[in-house]
Chains A and B, each alone.
With several copies, the nearest count.
Chain A
Amino acid sequence: MDKTIPTLAEAVAGIGDGATVMIGGFGGSGAPIELIHALIDRHVATGHPTGLTVINNNAGNGHVGLAALIEHGMVKKLICSFPRSADPVVFTEMYLAGKIELELVPQGTLAERIRAGGAGIPAFYTPTAYGTDLSHGKKIEEFDGRPYVQERWLKADFALIKAHVGDTHGNLTYRAAARNFNPLMATAAKQTIVQVSHLVPPGTIDPETVITPGIFVQSVVQVTNPQQEEVLNRAKAVYP
């Protein structure tokens, strides 16, 4: 069993029009910039994929990564908690022009909905957002005298994930706060595609320190020295 894919282009080749795609990262930390850019490359060359529903904590920053994906008109709908950033001009303009849909979800509820999707839990109750605009239309139930909001799982066709060390079976570790949503999204997609900074043989990663066991991963592509969104944006980079 070997889950490695030789190139970024091949890794994202199966993502079709209208797919739901989870993209890891919190701002730039843990964002799989190279996988996103490979998807943009395909769109530039072929016009596809388009009409994507993207699930991420944010809405991109500057003109690289997720912001560039949105800027290329590939995203129909965004599910996120915080679509603001230092330079949110791409999303802001498209949103105010009615060219992209937004489903705003509190950050902890977003994380838990993704975890639920991966764990086979179709719905759960949370105190978060009770009595606010973000629970409108949702089922409310009382437990032990306190009201809670019913939230549904989130699943995706694909997850684009950034990990630090990965083996050919798909076992993964992350780096510092770049972990964030990545391990959750890996569990909640039919096809989880991971870019790893270091590809190693099975048995290299201590079983005690594996964060994402390989069962959650379908494709692994090595990207040594991955780019950081923050560094690109400070250099005012534009992709492509």
Chain B
Amino acid sequence: MTKLSNAQIAWRAAQDIEDGAYVNLGIGFPEMVAQYQPPGRQAIFHTENGILDFGPSPAVGAEDWDLINAGKKAVTLNPGAAFFHHADSFAMVRGGHLDVAILGAYQVAQNGDLANWSVGAKGVPAVGGAMDLVHGAKRVAVITEHVTKDGKPKLLAACTLPLTGVACVTRIYTSLAVIDIVDGHFVLREKLASLTFDDLQSQTGAPLHLDGPVQDLTVPELS
């Protein structure tokens, strides 16, 4: 295996979510994490537009367009769901009530700075709830390709794109590795067995530190 698929990255991130955790998944790729909860564990998913404990998408044709998630996709409800307005929703976010927020990233710096809202180019800027989500969840994790499409590192000494938040990310799940951010450093926890440390370091824009043994990053085959 040379790198994980998006589904496999999402699967790995899902393994760290405890039963009963309150979780916000960023729109797009991070939404996949919900599909890979380990058997016997059930997280409660929050969407910033005002639902706690929503479930999977309904069948095509059965959508209720008043019942959508932050990505404007139709969803369903689990027993025990609740509706609330936007101020209460972001009280949950900013007030430290979410256990985990999992977001995508353009860049992550070794001090935990995150850039995921603007490529800094011309065009229409849009931020949504990302800047709120990075401050408040007890654990802010990122799932991402390890490098950009043209092979440049996304894990950097310092972000070059506009920041979403300062020193907010604590764990990064990439297509090659699982890396924690501790005291301003990238600390390698898991990597693909097929990669050497030096291979991984060469694709990472800041030093990878070791703090205890590095585990093999193993994931199942997923369609």
CB distance from A2 to the nearest CB of B (A): 9
B82 near A1: Cβ-Cβ < 8 Å: no
Instruction: Using CB atoms, name the residue of chain B closest to A132.
Output: B163
Render B109-151 as a binary contact track against A, CB cut-off 8 A, 1 for contact.
0000100001000111111111110011000000000000000
A214 near B95: Cβ-Cβ < 8 Å: no
Across-interface contacts of B131 in A (CB, < 8 A): 106, 108-109, 128-129, 132, 134
Render A3-41 as a binary contact track against B, CB cut-off 8 A, 1 for contact.
000000000000000000000001111100000000000
CA distance A95 to B124 in the complex (A): 7
A81 near B126: Cβ-Cβ < 8 Å: yes
Q: How many B residues touch A, CB cutoff 8 Å? A: 62
Chain B residues 66 to 91 lying within 8 A of chain A, measured CB to CB, are 66-68, 72, 77-91
B86 near A29: Cβ-Cβ < 8 Å: no
A171 near B85: Cβ-Cβ < 8 Å: no
A179 near B83: Cβ-Cβ < 8 Å: yes
A187 near B97: Cβ-Cβ < 8 Å: yes
B52 near A29: Cβ-Cβ < 8 Å: no
A180 near B85: Cβ-Cβ < 8 Å: yes
In this complex, the member of B86, B88, B91, B96 whose beta carbon has the largest number of chain A beta carbons within 10 angstroms is: B86
Q: Is B64 an interface residue (CB 8 A)?
A: yes
Instruction: Using CB atoms, name the residue of chain B closest to A84.
Output: B126
CA distance A181 to B49 in the complex (A): 8
CA distance A15 to B90 in the complex (A): 28
* Majority DSSP secondary structure for residues of B touching A: loop
B80 near A29: Cβ-Cβ < 8 Å: no
Q: Is A115 an interface residue (CB 8 A)?
A: yes
Across-interface contacts of B91 in A (CB, < 8 A): 115, 118-120, 187
Chain A residues 105 to 140 lying within 8 A of chain B, measured CB to CB, are 105-112, 114-115, 117-121, 126-134
Given A120-B135, A131-B166, A187-B95, residue A177 in contact with residue B126 (CB < 8 A): no
Given A1-B20, A126-B94, A131-B163, residue A104 in contact with residue B126 (CB < 8 A): yes
Q: Is B19 an interface residue (CB 8 A)?
A: yes
B84 near A179: Cβ-Cβ < 8 Å: yes
CA distance A104 to B118 in the complex (A): 12
Instruction: Using CB atoms, name the residue of chain B closest to A61.
Output: B72
Across-interface contacts of B22 in A (CB, < 8 A): 215
A175 near B86: Cβ-Cβ < 8 Å: no
A215 near B97: Cβ-Cβ < 8 Å: yes
Chain A residues 177 to 194 lying within 8 A of chain B, measured CB to CB, are 177-184, 187
Q: Is B195 an interface residue (CB 8 A)?
A: no
B128 near A82: Cβ-Cβ < 8 Å: yes
B66 near A176: Cβ-Cβ < 8 Å: yes
CA distance A20 to B19 in the complex (A): 29
A88 near B124: Cβ-Cβ < 8 Å: yes
A213 near B52: Cβ-Cβ < 8 Å: yes
Across-interface contacts of A120 in B (CB, < 8 A): 91, 93-96, 135-136
CA distance A214 to B64 in the complex (A): 24
Pick the contact of B66 from A1, A108, A109, A178 — CB < 8 Å? A178
Q: How many A residues touch B, CB cutoff 8 Å? A: 76
Given A84-B126, A108-B48, A119-B91, residue A27 in contact with residue B97 (CB < 8 A): no
B136 near A127: Cβ-Cβ < 8 Å: yes
Across-interface contacts of B125 in A (CB, < 8 A): 83, 102, 104
Instruction: Using CB atoms, name the residue of chain A closest to B84.
Output: A213
A179 near B80: Cβ-Cβ < 8 Å: no
Across-interface contacts of B86 in A (CB, < 8 A): 26, 57, 107-108, 110-111, 180-181, 184
A residues sitting closer than 8 Å to B (CB atoms) are: 1, 26-30, 57, 59, 81-86, 88, 91-92, 95-96, 102, 104-112, 114-115, 117-121, 126-134, 167-169, 171, 174-184, 187, 201-203, 207-208, 210-211, 213-216, 228-231
4 smallest CB-CB distances across A and B, nearest first, come from A203-B79, A202-B80, A120-B94, A108-B90
B residues sitting closer than 8 Å to A (CB atoms) are: 19-20, 22, 42, 44, 46-53, 63-68, 72, 77-98, 113, 118, 122-132, 135-136, 162-166
- Extra contacts, 18 of them, besides A132-B162, A187-B97 (Cβ < 8 A), are A82-B127, A85-B72, A106-B128, A108-B86, A119-B95, A128-B132, A130-B135, A131-B113, A177-B51, A177-B83, A179-B50, A184-B85, A203-B78, A207-B82, A207-B83, A213-B84, A213-B92, A230-B72
